[in-house]
Amino acid sequence: MSCRLEGQTIVVGGDMRPSSPEFTKAFAKGAATRGANVEPAGPDLHR
């Protein structure tokens, strides 16, 4: 099964859990690989 996200914008953010930055980055990378425009909702996404 494949999910196509070309041209869609997804806002990605995390919470206060220690694992949140790692999961947020992984999700954002996967969404971008499938063509989504990923917008960060917080400061940790591009670290």
State the 10-residue block means of pLDDT for the chain, 47 residues long: 82 91 93 94 64
Is position 24 within any domain? Answer: yes
Which pLDDT value is given to residue 10? 94
d(CA 7, CA 35): 7
Range of the domain at 21: 9-40
User: Number of folded domains in the chain?
Assistant: 1
Which pLDDT value is given to residue 5? 84
pTM: predicted TM-score of the whole model, two decimal places? 0.76
Is position 29 within any domain? Answer: yes
Backbone phi and psi for residue 24, each to the nearest 5 degrees, phi listed first: -65, -45
Is position 1 within any domain? Answer: no
Is position 26 within any domain? Answer: yes
Which pLDDT value is given to residue 1? 58
